[in-house]
Structure 1
Amino acid sequence: MKKLVLLSFAALLIMACQQKDTRYTQNSSEIDVVKKHIENYNTKNYDTSIMADTCKSYFNTKNKPILRKDIIAYHKANDANYTKRGFLSEDQEFEMVVTDNGETWVNAWLDWRATLKESGKVVDMPIHLTYRFIDGKIVREVGFWDPTEIVLALQEIEAQRNITVE
C-alpha cells in the first residue's frame, strides 16, 4: 500500500511538472513578425509577404476591410499628408495569446508620431494593433486609434486653402 501511495504521488508530480502549451507570452516568432511589420511601416518598406493572400486589415472599422492587395496604396495615400511619420521605439508593448478556440493573436500597444506636411503640426497618438496568425502569416489585422486631432488639423489646412482661394 505504501508503494502504491508513493507511486501515485510520483505520477502526480511528473504530470504536474510537464510543460503545458503556451497561452500567453511576450516572446514568440509571431511577435517578431509584428515587430518586423512595424519596422517595415516606419521605413516605408511595404512588404506584404508576411500577410496571407486572404488577409484583411480593419483600421477603425469592423466592417470595411482593406484587402492585402490594397494595403500599400492605403498607406501611400496617407503618407502624402506627412513629412514624417512612424511608431516611436519607446514604450512599445507586445503580447501573444492563444485563445480558448486555439486562435493565435499578437497585440501591440504603440505610440505613433507624425508631422503634417502643410502645417508642420506634430501629432502624437496611442494606437492599439492586433494581428491574427495562421501558419506564421497574418490573416487579420485590426487597428484602433483616435484620429480626431489629425482630422481637425487637415480640415483646418483645407479651410485655410479655401480662404486663400476666395
Structure 2
Amino acid sequence: MKKLFLLGFVAILFLACKQEVRYTQKSAEIETYKKVMEDYKTQNWKDYPKHYADTAKVMSNVTRKKGQTVAQAIEKSKEDAKLFTWVVKDDDYEMVVTDKGETWVNYWGLWTGTLKSTKKVYEIPFHNTVRFIDGKIVQENGYWNNSEIVTDMSSMAKTSVSEPAKTQK
C-alpha cells in the first residue's frame, strides 16, 4: 500500500509540473504573424504596422546596420507593388523559444510575382523569422534569392538607356 501511495504521489508530481513549450505550430505569436502576412498579401498597409513595436527593425536580405523601420519597409513594398502583382502561398509557420528565452516565429512561403512591364513571372521561395517581445514584433529578418529579378531589371535598364542613343544617330 505504501508503494502504491508513493507511486501515485510521484505520478501527481510529474503531471503537475508544467513543461515549458519550446516549439509549437500553434501560438498567439503565430496568429499575429498570420495577420501580418495577410496584410502583406492584400497590401493592407494601414493595419500592417499594428503588430510591430515602435522600435522594430526590418532586415530584408540585409544586416542590422541596413535595417529599416516598419514605415520604410511599407514604402519599399508599395514601390514593389508598382512593378509587380504578387501572390504568396505555401505558408508554413512555427514558433520556437531559444535557450536565451527569446520567442521567434519562423515563416516559409512562396512569393510569385509578375513583373507588370514584361508579364514575366518569378517564383521565389522565402523565409522570414520574427522576434516577439510582449506580443509585438521587435525584429524581422527576411531571406530570399532575388538575383534573377535584379539581373533582369539591370538588363532592362541597360536596354532602355542604349535605345535612345541609337535613335539619335
**Which of 59, 77, 80 pairs up with 1:78?**
80
Distance, in Å, in 2 between the alignment partners of 1:42 and 1:20 is 36
Give the 4+ runs in structure 1 shifted more than 3 A. Answer: 5-8
Task: Give yes or no for contact 1:110–1:126 (8 Å, CA) kept in 2.
Answer: yes
> Which deviates more from structure 2 when the two are superposed, residues 113-122 or residues 60-69?
60-69
Which amino acid letter does the alignment assign opposite residue 87 of structure 1? V
1:94 and 1:108 in contact (8 A); partners too: yes
Counterpart Cα distance in 1 of 2:63 and 2:87: 24
Query: 1:77-96 alignment to 2 at 5 Å?
Result: 77-82=79-84, 84-88=85-89, 91-96=90-95
Scaled by the length of structure 2, the TM-score of the pair is 0.88
CA distance in 1, matches of 2:71, 2:42: 19
Where does structure 1 lack aligned partners over 5 or more consecutive residues?
Answer: none
Counterpart of 1:31 in structure 2 is: 30
Distance 1:128 1:8 in 2: 50
Q: Percent identity?
A: 38
Contact 1:118 1:157 in 2 (8 A): no
1:150 deviation in Å?
A: 0.8
Separation in 2, partners of 1:150, 1:26: 32
- C-alpha separation between the residues in 1 aligned to 2:63 and 2:118? 31
Select the structure that is richer in helix: 2
TM-superposition CA deviations, 1:125-166 (whole Å, max 9, x none): 100001111111111111000110110111122122123222
| Conserved 8 A contact 1:81-1:116 | yes
Q: Which residue of 2 aligns with 1:60?
A: 61
Q: Distance in 2 between matches of 1:115 and 1:16?
A: 55
Structure 1 residue 122: deviation in Å?
0.3
Structure 2: 5+ residue runs without aligned partners? none
Q: How many residues align?
A: 161
Q: Quote the residue 1:111 is aligned against.
A: 110
CA distance in 1, matches of 2:13, 2:62: 45
Aligned to 1:144: 143
Cα distance in 2, alignment partners of residues 15 and 153 from structure 1: 63
RMSD of aligned C-alpha atoms? 1.5
Q: Deviations over 1:105-140 (max 9, x none)?
A: 100010001011211110001000011111111111
User: TM-score, normalized by length of structure 1?
Assistant: 0.90
Q: 1:163, 1:8 → 2: CA distance?
A: 87
